[in-house]
């Protein structure tokens, strides 16, 4: 979809959500929100992405794109900020890959590392959804539990079939626009399979990071009065994040909010509270992205002015 179409989808979604929301309930929930919760959630978000820097640097190093820790922070922060400015989170990934390739002199290694980093995040979300669905079926009426189990089984079957077709279909049979991303993903998986230790560590880190974001959203929900088992959040939030990754809106805006509220509603959560939780998380994303932009700016400025960074870490020269 073109950018103007994604903007239109997000705008229409936000207007519909705004019309449907009972603003009186939203106002009361915001008044009841403990002011100390939001800064703590933001701190947890920053800590999670601190671990994300380590994981991303681990993966790009498998492709011989070696970055110093301070350079990795700079590239990662730029990508985090770009998520606010570009039409999807993929744009942030592309920016940090480009910066890492330029700084390390190994653009190919930065590319494969970035793809592996994203693939492990997707796999971690799938595992969280499976675990959450198994733990929450007892909390639903029998009919809804069967519907949930059947839907997830269908999704798993379609996913397995898709992976099989991707692996078995020759690249010449794919549309030209899809050949390059399909080929890159397959090569990245093959490279990762040759280093099982890195694969396992990366997956553990992805599960920890995504799991911590689930806990942060659960904390936001509890702060505005949502009372559901923690397992429900391990089902609802990854599903909403997956919906936000679909290339049909501007960075998942409105789609993610509606998806989270829709998944939480069978567990007795009012639609307005689900939307409000997602919007509060959106403010955390914006604040975290702005902090990433400030970090990127400061590190770049100090580097250009010959400050601490080039003094302690002399820049490598690539022939």
Q: Is residue 240 in some structural domain?
A: yes
Whether the per-residue pLDDT at 87 is higher than 80: the answer is no
Q: Is residue 219 in some structural domain?
A: yes
Cα 219 from chain centre: 18
Domain span including residue 262: 3-18+35-312
Q: Is residue 249 in some structural domain?
A: yes
Higher-confidence position of 200 and 196: 200
Q: What is the pLDDT of residues 12-70, one digit of tens each?
A: 878 888 887 888 888 888 888 888 999 999 999 999 999 999 999 999 888 777 899 99
Q: Is residue 26 in some structural domain?
A: no
Q: Is residue 27 in some structural domain?
A: no
pLDDT at 89: 58
- Using CA atoms, how far residue 219 sits from 41, 45, 86, in Å, is 8, 12, 28
Q: Is residue 23 in some structural domain?
A: no
Number of compact structural domains in the chain: 1
Q: What is the pLDDT of residues 241-255, one digit of tens each?
A: 888 877 777 767 778
Whether the per-residue pLDDT at 88 is higher than 90: the answer is no
pLDDT at 12: 84
Q: Is residue 178 in some structural domain?
A: yes
Give the contacts of 268 (CB within 8 A, at least 6 positions apart).
228
- pLDDT band at residue 298 using 50, 70 and 90 as cut-offs: very high
- pLDDT band at residue 295 using 50, 70 and 90 as cut-offs: very high
Rounded-to-integer distance, Cα 209 and Cα 44, Å: 10
């Amino acid at each position: 979809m073109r950018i103007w179409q994604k903007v239109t989808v997000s705008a229409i979604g936000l207007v519909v959500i705004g019309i449907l929301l009972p603003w009186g309930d939203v106002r009361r929930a915001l008044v009841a929100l403990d002011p100390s919760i939001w800064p703590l959630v933001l701190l947890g978000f920053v800590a999670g992405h601190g671990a994300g820097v380590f994981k991303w640097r681990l993966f790009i190093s498998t492709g011989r794109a070696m970055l110093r820790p301070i350079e990795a922070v700079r590239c990662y922060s730029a990508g985090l900020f770009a998520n606010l400015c570009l039409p999807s989170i993929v744009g942030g990934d592309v920016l940090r890959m480009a910066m890492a390739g330029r700084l390390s002199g190994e653009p190919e290694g930065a590319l494969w590392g970035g793809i592996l980093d994203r693939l492990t995040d997707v796999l971690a979300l799938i595992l969280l959804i499976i675990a959450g669905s198994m733990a929450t079926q007892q909390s639903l009426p029998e009919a809804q539990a069967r519907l949930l189990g059947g839907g997830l089984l269908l999704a798993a079957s379609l996913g397995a079939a898709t992976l099989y077709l991707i692996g078995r279909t020759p690249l010449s049979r794919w549309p030209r626009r899809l050949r390059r991303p399909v080929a890159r993903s397959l090569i990245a998986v093959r490279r990762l399979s040759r280093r099982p230790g890195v694969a396992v560590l990366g997956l553990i880190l992805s599960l920890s990071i995504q799991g911590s974001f689930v806990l942060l959203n659960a904390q936001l929900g509890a702060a505005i009065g949502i009372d559901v088992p923690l397992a429900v959040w391990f089902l609802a939030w990854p599903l909403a994040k997956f919906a936000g990754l679909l290339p049909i809106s501007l960075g998942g805006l409105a789609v993610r909010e509606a998806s989270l509220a829709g998944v939480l509603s069978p567990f007795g959560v009012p639609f307005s509270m689900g939307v409000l939780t997602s919007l509060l998380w959106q403010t955390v994303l914006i604040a975290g992205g702005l902090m990433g932009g400030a970090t990127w700016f400061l590190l770049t400025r100090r580097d250009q002015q010959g400050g601490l960074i080039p003094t302690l870490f002399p820049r490598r020269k690539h022939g």
